[in-house]
Structure 1
Amino acid sequence: MELRQLYYFVRVAKKEHVTQAAEELHVAQSAVSRQIHQLEEELGVKLFVQKGRNLQLTPVGTLFLKRAEVILADLERAVIEIHEFLDPEKGEIRLGFPHSLGISLIPQVVASFRKHHPNVKFRFRQGMYPSLIRDLIKGDIDLAFISPFPKEHEQVCGEVLLTEELYAILPPGHPLSKEEQIKLSQLKDETFVLFSEGYSLRPIVWDACLQAGFEPNIGFEGEETDTIRGLVAAGMGVSLLPELALHHTGPLQPAKVRISEPSVTRTIGLIRRSNEKLPLVAKVFHGFLVRYFQEKMEE
């Protein structure tokens, strides 16, 4: 069995199509088909069945895919570790984070780190809370910013870096837009613009509204902080967003008002796989992040 066969098999399994896999691999379709056929002969099983124009994994193919992905991920980590051993300053950091941190926080910390480690490369992956946990456990990323911080999880561990306040955001002409602070209950009759199901900010806002004595009337849902902010600025409703999601300039901006009651916050943490050493360059970045946020809290 050759590693090339595993690479080809995983690509075909993901694409469910030999031609598309071949295009992604930049090889001839016949070469991919030949390697898959040889792999099946060596294993003595059928890994795929034809379903229309696509290929579908057989039950044994699905089982083999899980093992193949682990093998290739371990190989990739081994190659990275060798490169880091030869020169840690030329390693690669695989970092995951939610969309709401991509506006200002991630660019700031990466730029600050690269001032001292200019040759380190980054591979980013954005995602929702469940997908970040899943990608970390699978080994697709080595570190992930996450919110809220998972209190207990057998397969991941980490530390809280920051506790961030959420603000009410209102259309610029809203009667409460000039107030220094408001009670969340003052928005009970408003239409809310919230994140879609699956985004971690949604339950934080929902629970805060319940704590304030009302259930929010949802008029619009979105999947990006830019969308939420833009809809509110356009007068479509009100919402709550963390301060890091409000660092934006432009002609159309919502009003930002502090909430005095109840206190609405979110935790931002940094997680990694439990019982597994970080690659050297990721360990250096991890230490940098812990110091970076400690210094920010002391300012």
Structure 2
Amino acid sequence: MDSRQLRYFLAVVENGSVTRAAEVLYVAQPALSQSLRALEGELGVELFRRVPRGMELTDAGAALLGPARQVLQSSRRADEIVRGIATLENGWLDVASPPDLAVEPLASLVAQFRAQYPGVWVNLMDPGPNAGVETLLRTARCEVGIDYLPADDDKLSTRVLGRRRLLLGLPAEALHTQTATFPIDRLSELPLIAGPRGTAVRDEVERACAQHGFSPNVAVEVEHEHNVYLLVEAGAGAAFLTDSEARRAERRGVRVMRTEPELGHDYGVVFRSGPLSPAAAAFAALATGSAPGERHA
């Protein structure tokens, strides 16, 4: 098994067919097919099954995905050192983040990183509603991310960068009370708009309500929580908003209140296990204010 075979294997996975993978790689289709057959022969398993839409991974193929990406990353890291990319005159950096943290703090961190290392290409990755930053780290899709903490995987290294406060946004006509805060134990009175279970805000709200002996009344569930304040403005229900979302919501007439107790969660840098590439190590050092290569538990 060599890195070329693994690169061809991943290209077929990512493009869905041998034909499209060959076009992307600029290789002849028969050569790519022969390489895949040779890889399957070495491993003694079938990696793909043919379906009407192209190629579909077998269980064995799915098991190879993570190791294949790690092998190619290790190979790429060796090439970086040999070619002098360790000096960060060029190279690339993959950083994963949920959409709300991509606005802040990730945007300013990337701006600082680019100012210091203008030759490094940066790829900002959105894990999407059905995955997560930790999933991308564990499967070697990236080496570093900005995410809510604590991390579920104790093999990942983390460093807290700050805390994101959650404020309650309500339609302007929802309440006529003049109190400055809204008690959490009254939250059951409100229809809520929330992301699915497993998202940071939804889980924080679920925990807070459970501590008061009830479950939140989620009336509208949305896959993507950003711009949820537009649903609040339209009168679909109340929702918990980050500070930046709350400011936008208030400008549109949404009533924003603090809760008692106040809700929020820490966020920070999350590192993939193992040695980091030069670009990932430099980004982590910039974010945490530590020396390049220093790790945090």
TM-score (norm 1): 0.81
Deviation at 1:182, TM superposition (A): 2.4
Contact 1:84 1:280 in 2 (8 A): no
Q: What secondary structure sits across from 1:103 in the alignment?
A: helix
Deviation at 1:204, TM superposition (A): 0.3
Q: What secondary structure sits across from 1:75 in the alignment?
A: helix
The aligned residue for residue 291 of structure 1 is: 289
Q: Does the C-alpha gap of structure 1 residues 74 and 208 become closer, same or farther in structure 2, counting only changes over 3 Å?
A: same
Contact 2:10 2:65 in 1 (8 A): yes
Quote the Cα distance in structure 2 between the aligned partners of 1:25 and 1:105. 35
User: Residue type matched to 1:95 in 2?
Assistant: V
Percentage identity across paired residues of the two chains: 27
User: Residue type matched to 1:134 in 2?
Assistant: T
The aligned residue for residue 78 of structure 1 is: 78
User: Residue type matched to 1:282 in 2?
Assistant: A
Quote the Cα distance in structure 1 between the aligned partners of 2:117 and 2:6. 34
The aligned residue for residue 146 of structure 2 is: 145
Mapping 1:203-242, distance limit 5 Å:
203-242=203-242
Q: What secondary structure sits across from 1:169 in the alignment?
A: strand
Give deviations 1:46-104, integer Å, cap 9, x for gaps. Answer: 44343445334455545555543332222123234445555324332221111221233
Comparing 83-92 and 114-123, the one that deviates more: 83-92
Structure 1 gap segments, 5+ residues each: 293-299
Quote the Cα distance in structure 2 between the aligned partners of 1:47 and 1:117. 40
User: Residue type matched to 1:185 in 2?
Assistant: D
Comparing 192-201 and 121-130, the one that deviates more: 121-130
User: Residue type matched to 1:118 in 2?
Assistant: P
Deviation at 1:212, TM superposition (A): 4.2
Q: Does the C-alpha gap of structure 1 residues 188 and 23 become closer, same or farther in structure 2, counting only changes over 3 Å?
A: same
Comparing 283-292 and 219-228, the one that deviates more: 283-292
Quote the Cα distance in structure 2 between the aligned partners of 1:106 and 1:281. 15
The aligned residue for residue 35 of structure 1 is: 35
Contact 2:169 2:246 in 1 (8 A): no
The aligned residue for residue 296 of structure 1 is: none
User: Residue type matched to 1:166 in 2?
Assistant: L
Deviation at 1:193, TM superposition (A): 0.2
Q: What secondary structure sits across from 2:72 in the alignment?
A: helix
Quote the Cα distance in structure 1 between the aligned partners of 2:62 and 2:208. 42
User: Residue type matched to 2:137 in 1?
Assistant: L
Quote the Cα distance in structure 1 between the aligned partners of 2:185 and 2:66. 49
User: Residue type matched to 1:96 in 2?
Assistant: A
Quote the Cα distance in structure 2 between the aligned partners of 1:209 and 1:62. 39
Structure 2 gap segments, 5+ residues each: 291-297
User: Residue type matched to 2:106 in 1?
Assistant: I
Give deviations 1:110-131, integer Å, cap 9, x for gaps. Answer: 2233334333331111226953
User: Residue type matched to 2:263 in 1?
Assistant: V
The aligned residue for residue 87 of structure 1 is: 87
Contact 1:98 1:129 in 2 (8 A): no
Q: Does the C-alpha gap of structure 1 residues 157 and 188 become closer, same or farther in structure 2, counting only changes over 3 Å?
A: same
TM-score (norm 2): 0.81
Deviation at 1:3, TM superposition (A): 3.7
Mapping 1:254-265, distance limit 5 Å:
254-259=254-259, 261-265=260-264
Quote the Cα distance in structure 2 between the aligned partners of 1:66 and 1:60. 12
The aligned residue for residue 175 of structure 1 is: 175
> Does residue 1:133 correspond to 2:131, yes or no?
no
Contact 1:129 1:146 in 2 (8 A): no
Mapping 1:53-132, distance limit 5 Å:
54-58=54-58, 60-83=60-83, 85=85, 87-127=87-127, 131-132=132-133
Q: Does the C-alpha gap of structure 1 residues 2 and 269 become closer, same or farther in structure 2, counting only changes over 3 Å?
A: closer
Q: Does the C-alpha gap of structure 1 residues 9 and 209 become closer, same or farther in structure 2, counting only changes over 3 Å?
A: same
Matched residue pairs, number?
Answer: 289
Q: Does the C-alpha gap of structure 1 residues 279 and 216 become closer, same or farther in structure 2, counting only changes over 3 Å?
A: same
Q: What secondary structure sits across from 1:188 in the alignment?
A: helix
The aligned residue for residue 25 of structure 2 is: 25
Q: Does the C-alpha gap of structure 1 residues 163 and 57 become closer, same or farther in structure 2, counting only changes over 3 Å?
A: closer
User: Residue type matched to 1:180 in 2?
Assistant: A
Deviation at 1:242, TM superposition (A): 2.3
Contact 1:81 1:279 in 2 (8 A): no
User: Residue type matched to 1:278 in 2?
Assistant: L
Mapping 1:191-210, distance limit 5 Å:
191-210=191-210
Quote the Cα distance in structure 1 between the aligned partners of 2:264 and 2:271. 23
User: Residue type matched to 2:205 in 1?
Assistant: V
Deviation at 1:148, TM superposition (A): 2.7
Give deviations 1:215-251, integer Å, cap 9, x for gaps. Answer: 2211111122334211112111001122244454897
Contact 2:167 2:240 in 1 (8 A): yes
